[in-house]
Amino acid sequence: MDKKKEYRELSNVEKQRNFLTSEEFPEGPFGSPRGKTKPVENKSTRWEDGQQYTSAFTYEFRNQHENVPRQDPGAHLTHDEDDKE
């Protein structure tokens, strides 16, 4: 047992650390006096390498939607289709 097993995080844990989402109520509960005079901040801790905000308006599993055209008439192009109109 002197050999250490190589440990690696699951992909969803790594994504959760790197792709941040906005807080629903960053200033606290509705009507709360907490932080009334203090401006809302994006993040309370230091930024780590690889961290970025992700939008709620993108596909969660992009690889499942890759190279699949939109089926709704009049829908805008997906981000993997660069000017293919």
Average pLDDT, the chain: 74
Which run of H or E residues covers position 19? strand 19-20
DSSP type of residue 47:
P
Split at pLDDT 50, 70, 90, the class of 52 is confident
Q: Tell me what pLDDT residue 72 has.
A: 81
CA–CA distance, 28 with 25 (Å, rounded to integer): 5
Query: How much of the chain, in percent, has pLDDT values that exceed 70?
Result: 73
Across 6-33, average pLDDT: 77
Query: What are the strands, taking DSSP E only, across the chain?
Result: 19-20, 52-53
